[in-house]
Amino acid sequence: MLKKTVLTFAFLTILTTFYGFNAQFGAPATEDMLLNDDGATLRNSLLREGDYVISAYDQIIRNISEQEGHDWRLMSAIAYHESRFTPDITSRSGARGLMQIMPSVARQFEVPAEQIINPETNVWLANKLLSKIISTLRLPAGTPDEDRMRIILASYNSGIGHVGDARRLARLYGEDPNSWEVVARYLQLKAEPEYYRNEVVKCGRFTGSRQTLAYVNDVIGRYNRYCRIAGR
């Protein structure tokens, strides 16, 4: 009887904490994140080895990403690259958690900095950031999926400002701003004065193109692997 009471108390504590997080931060669709179509509770908890396909965070990443309309396998690929699924790390630049979220991103979505390290919060912020990038880029409907995904990932890694500069330079020189091949080339050219001093460039010199291109290739490769092993 005592054991049952303790377990019940622990469950209620976890549930209250989760609801408190969503109420405080104004996360959308709180009930949908907790309930499936039949009204059954979804447990956003770590999975044991053997119970997951990609990582112990499969359920957390999948539940939150699907609510935000993003492919959970892509978000998992980002998490692997960013942290190797380590929730409590902080980079030298101050990025934190599974998805390596910067405090500036948390501020955009009115989330206190001390909450960034929480896995659910961290994944939620990454999904919100990806949605904001997509809406800001406004890539045409006819943009090939591969180009679209690579341009979005480059924006996640380097900042949408540098990608926006590369796309403006592409337009200026009569090239396709929705082609990843073209955008990648102008990201590299933004290290040269002839290009980063151009009046269409708003974010100045960019010297991180090699890292960004490697990031995009790595995440895409891992995403393709996760698609093979995880299905939908």
Structure tokens at 16: 């209250």
Report whether pLDDT(132) > 70.
yes
Selection from 64, 62, 86, 80 nearest residue 72 by Cα:
62
- Same domain as 27, residue 128: yes
Using one digit for the tens of pLDDT, what is the confidence trace for 178-221? Answer: 999 999 999 999 999 999 999 999 999 999 999 999 999 999 99
In a domain, 30, yes or no: yes
Report whether pLDDT(159) > 70.
yes
- Same domain as 187, residue 114: no
Structure confidence at residue 144 (pLDDT): 97
In a domain, 147, yes or no: yes
In a domain, 6, yes or no: no
Report whether pLDDT(127) > 70.
yes
Structure tokens at 41: 């509770």
Q: Look at residues 137, 154, 187 and tell me which one is the last residue of a structural domain.
A: 137
- Same domain as 66, residue 55: yes
Exposure b/e, 110-126, CB count within 10 A at least 16 = b: ebeeebbbbbbbbbbbb
- Same domain as 71, residue 157: no
Q: Give, rounded to a whole angstrom, the gap between the first and last alpha carbons of the chain.
A: 41
- Render 28-60 in DSSP notation, one character per residue: S-HHHHHB-TTSPBP---PPPTTS-SS-TTHHH
In a domain, 42, yes or no: yes
Structure confidence at residue 50 (pLDDT): 67
Q: Which long-range contacts (CB under 8 A, 24 or more apart) does 110-113 make?
A: 110/25, 110/26, 111/25
Q: Point out the catalytic residue in the list 82, 146, 175, 192.
A: 82
- Same domain as 160, residue 83: no
In a domain, 189, yes or no: yes
Report whether pLDDT(173) > 90.
yes
Expressed as residue numbers, the domain containing 110 is 18-137
In whole angstroms, give the CA distance from residue 178 to residue 167: 7
Q: Look at residues 137, 169, 199 and tell me which one is the last residue of a structural domain.
A: 137
Selection from 36, 88, 79, 48 nearest residue 61 by Cα:
79
Structure confidence at residue 8 (pLDDT): 41
- Total domains present in the chain: 2
- Same domain as 186, residue 147: yes
Report whether pLDDT(43) > 90.
no
Q: pTM for the full model? A: 0.79
- Same domain as 86, residue 49: yes
In a domain, 1, yes or no: no
Structure tokens at 71: 């492919």
Q: Which long-range contacts (CB under 8 A, 24 or more apart) does 186-189 make?
A: 187/154, 187/158, 187/162, 187/163, 187/212, 187/213, 188/213
Using one digit for the tens of pLDDT, what is the confidence trace for 93-109? Answer: 999 999 999 999 999 99
Segment among 33-47, 115-129, 169-183, 196-210 with least mean pLDDT: 33-47
- Same domain as 102, residue 165: no
Q: How confident is the model at residue 232 (pLDDT cuts 50, 70, 90)?
A: confident
Segment among 15-19, 61-65, 156-160, 210-214 with least mean pLDDT: 15-19
- Same domain as 196, residue 145: yes
In a domain, 9, yes or no: no
- Same domain as 57, residue 156: no
CATH number, domain of 68, equals 1.10.530.10
Structure confidence at residue 110 (pLDDT): 96
Report whether pLDDT(71) > 60.
yes
In whole angstroms, give the CA distance from residue 154 to residue 55: 24
The distance between the two most distant Cα atoms of the chain, rounded to a whole number of Å, is 76
Report whether pLDDT(80) > 60.
yes
Structure confidence at residue 45 (pLDDT): 61
CB-based contact 188:209 (threshold 8 Å): yes
Structure confidence at residue 36 (pLDDT): 33
- Same domain as 77, residue 163: no
- Same domain as 86, residue 162: no
| Residue 82 is among the residues annotated as catalytic for this protein | yes
